[in-house]
Amino acid sequence: MSRNQINRIFEDSIKVISESKKISPDIEKAVELIIKCYKKSCKVVIFGNGGSAADAQHLSAELIGRFQLERQSLPAIALTTDTSILTSLGNDYSFDYIFARQCEALVKKGDVVIAISTSGKSKNVLDGITASKKKGAHIIGLTGSKGILMKKVVDLLLVIPSTSTARIQEGHRVTIHAICELVEKKFKKN
């Protein structure tokens, strides 16, 4: 391992994050959807696989707890945290249905669903989106530059301009922090 390799990793990440600024208008739209959702006493439901599952849990924690400001707790749920549900659905049905079944039970009209998939091709994520649409939710997708399949099924797609899973995940984390910061400002305590 050389310092040049390490420096290249940082430079690649910085480049992708910098290029991601072009999705700022879409991030603003996502924030508006989430704020409207909360003003109607609805919730945010988030899911994804692997690192995206961790991002779902991270976003949920920031909304329920706090990001930087003291404010009311905001209802959010990551569908990746209940191992009994995940393993029973995976065993009794298929791993493909772990999000769809939960969305059928938990998503209500007016909720915002945030589906995260670096590839945009994860069958269980796409099925979760379909189930959420049937319930009347607004769908925000987070993906990378090859996430074409998601574009057809979400209301708003936030695309990190990269094909590298690591760089896409880094872009998703910055996007999540931007969303949290802007949503939080609307609900801060006086």
The torsion of the CA quartet 13, 19, 22, 28, rounded to 10 degrees, works out to: 10
pTM: 0.96
The torsion of the CA quartet 117, 41, 59, 105, rounded to 10 degrees, works out to: -50
The answer to whether 113 touches 138, Cβ cutoff 8 Å, is yes
- 46: how many CB neighbours lie within 10 A of its CB? 26
Q: Indicate the angle between helix axes 98-106 and 83-92, nearest 10 degrees.
A: 120
Three-state DSSP state, 145: coil
The answer to whether 161 touches 6, Cβ cutoff 8 Å, is no
In angstroms, rounded to a whole number, what is the distance separating the alpha carbons of residues 170 and 153?
24
pLDDT by residue for the chain (190 residues), tens only, comes to: 699 999 999 999 999 999 999 999 999 999 999 999 999 999 999 999 999 999 999 999 999 999 999 999 999 999 999 999 999 999 999 999 999 999 999 999 999 999 999 999 999 999 999 999 999 999 999 999 999 889 999 999 999 999 999 999 999 999 999 999 999 999 987 6
Q: pLDDT (tens digit, 9 = 90+) per residue, 40-77?
A: 999 999 999 999 999 999 999 999 999 999 999 999 99
Domain 3-187 fold is Rossmann fold (3.40.50)
Q: What is the pLDDT of residue 190?
A: 60
